[in-house]
Amino acid sequence: MTRTLRTQVAVIGAGPAGLLLSQLLAGAGIETVVIDRKDRAYIEGRIRAGVLEQGTVDALSEAGVGDRLHREGLIHHGFDLCFDGDRHRIDLRGLTGKSVTVYGQTEVTKDLFERRFAQAQQFFLGASDTRPEGLKDTRPSVHFTHKGRQIAVEADFIAGCDGFHGPSRQAIPPEVLRTFERVYPFGWLGIMVERPPVSHELIYANHARGFALASMRSQTRSRYYLQCGMQENIADWPDERFWEELSLRLGSDTAASLQTGASFEKSIAPLRSFVAEPMRYGNLFLAGDAAHIVPPTGAKGLNLAVADVRLLSRALIAHYLDHNDHYIDTYSQAVLSRVWKVERFSWQLSTLMHQFPENSPFEQRMQRAEFDYITGSEAAARSIAENYVGLPLE
């Protein structure tokens, strides 16, 4: 027998996008039910990005989960681009008046979970066979199995915050959905280590042997990446080999300050650009990775998801509190306009900073010319900085 529940907004996905949406709606007195196929420990344990735009920091503060972020987050006023050993700092504060904050997505998720549980949010974690249905109806529903029992959640709206592989996007009819994709011919080999970062700001490096990134999660925990082939095996990358290759790609001057050690996390992530249109179908709204993926160059994934949620929460709050459906009706168009601009920046920075196996000597020279233009033009550097700190909401 199916147990039927009723709520105002059913949220599929308990990652940072879904949790933040439920928190922002709760602040306006709007009820939600949150459903996810994984349990809390798994969701909180996922290693993800950690550079937050000011708009993301503002949204988390508005949601009441900014206290630890403001205590522990590292404010960065710039970052470095390095090309064949030549290093240039992008002065974010000087060029835009804004900064970014380093604070891990894992910590954001923990803060949101703690807040939602403290406020008695209704969760169904560990759900299986999740299916959004009746998307064109006035009361769509989400059906799933939880602890061996069939559950149906009826709602006014469904928010699909369930990532690239979730059921929400797949529920949109194929004759309606359009997808756009660019799969990159390499991945990022990343490690985490309990050592102070090599630099107080991020370093993006393009070397003849491939891209490298020096990042961090705190003053004592560092995150490093190397461009690698997708056929690479992690077993072929012991820590010693990783540190040797990273030192080479960062250059001898930077490597002189590199503190190495045993890694406690190591993984290879593919790179892709992906966009699905539209981001609304009937009473289903997509947000975050359910609708778009950006390569990690430029740290836009989480920030883009938060921007979606800010616009979606605005639309839903206006519907319930002001009986105004303008933002609901324009949600997909407004969000996609910003999404494509962010995709363009992530594609631009990825194209500039990676070694592409198919690149001709001409294209390699174009990469160098682009780097030289950025270093020699304040207007070009400002364009990079404006995108890095975050574009305004529509």
- pLDDT tens for residues 166-222? 999 999 999 999 999 999 999 999 999 999 999 999 999 999 999 999 999 999 999
The answer to whether the CB of 12 falls within 8 A of the CB of 167 is yes
pLDDT of residue 142: 98
For residues 344-355, average pLDDT: 97
pLDDT level of residue 386 (50, 70, 90 thresholds): very high
For residues 234-253, average pLDDT: 96
pLDDT score of 330 more than 90 = yes
pLDDT score of 49 more than 80 = no
Nearest CA to 351 out of 306, 298, 394, 301 is that of: 298
- State pLDDT tens for residues 11-22: 999 999 999 999
Total domain count, the chain: 1
Does residue 261 form part of some domain?
no
pLDDT of residue 368: 97
Does residue 216 form part of some domain?
no
pLDDT score of 325 more than 90 = yes
pLDDT of residue 50: 87
- State pLDDT tens for residues 112-143: 999 999 999 999 999 999 999 999 999 999 99
Angle, vertex CA 361, rays to CA 360 and CA 364, nearest 5 = 90
Does residue 24 form part of some domain?
yes
Domain that holds residue 8: 3-74+103-180+271-354
Q: Could you give the 3-state DSSP secondary structure of residue 37?
A: coil
pLDDT score of 394 more than 80 = no
For residues 366-383, average pLDDT: 98
pLDDT level of residue 58 (50, 70, 90 thresholds): very high
- Active-site positions read 76, 204, 296, 300, 388
Helices 54-62 and 16-27, interaxial angle, to 10°? Answer: 50
User: CA 188, CA 271: separation in Å to the nearest integer?
Assistant: 7
CATH number at residue 333: 3.50.50.60
User: CA 365, CA 282: separation in Å to the nearest integer?
Assistant: 48
Question: For the purposes of burial, counting CB atoms within 10 Å of the CB of 224, is it exposed (0-12), middle (13-18) or buried (19 or more)?
Answer: buried
pLDDT of residue 1: 85
Chain centroid to CA 380: how far?
Answer: 25
User: CA 5, CA 375: separation in Å to the nearest integer?
Assistant: 58
Give percent above pLDDT 90 in the chain: 96
pTM for this prediction:
0.95
pLDDT level of residue 317 (50, 70, 90 thresholds): very high
pLDDT level of residue 45 (50, 70, 90 thresholds): confident
pLDDT level of residue 46 (50, 70, 90 thresholds): confident
Does residue 336 form part of some domain?
yes
Phi and psi at residue 330, to the nearest 5°: -105, 5
pLDDT of residue 382: 98
Torsion of CA 122, 127, 133, 136, to 10 degrees: 40
Chain centroid to CA 205: how far?
Answer: 21
pLDDT score of 363 more than 80 = yes
For residues 312-316, average pLDDT: 98
Does residue 212 form part of some domain?
no
For residues 58-64, average pLDDT: 97
pLDDT of residue 56: 97
pLDDT score of 48 more than 90 = no
Phi and psi at residue 161, to the nearest 5°: -115, 35
Does residue 97 form part of some domain?
no
pLDDT score of 47 more than 90 = no
pLDDT score of 348 more than 80 = yes
The answer to whether the CB of 15 falls within 8 A of the CB of 109 is yes
Question: For the purposes of burial, counting CB atoms within 10 Å of the CB of 49, is it exposed (0-12), middle (13-18) or buried (19 or more)?
Answer: buried
- State pLDDT tens for residues 257-266: 999 999 999 9
The Cα diameter of the chain in Å comes to: 69
pLDDT of residue 124: 98
Does residue 65 form part of some domain?
yes
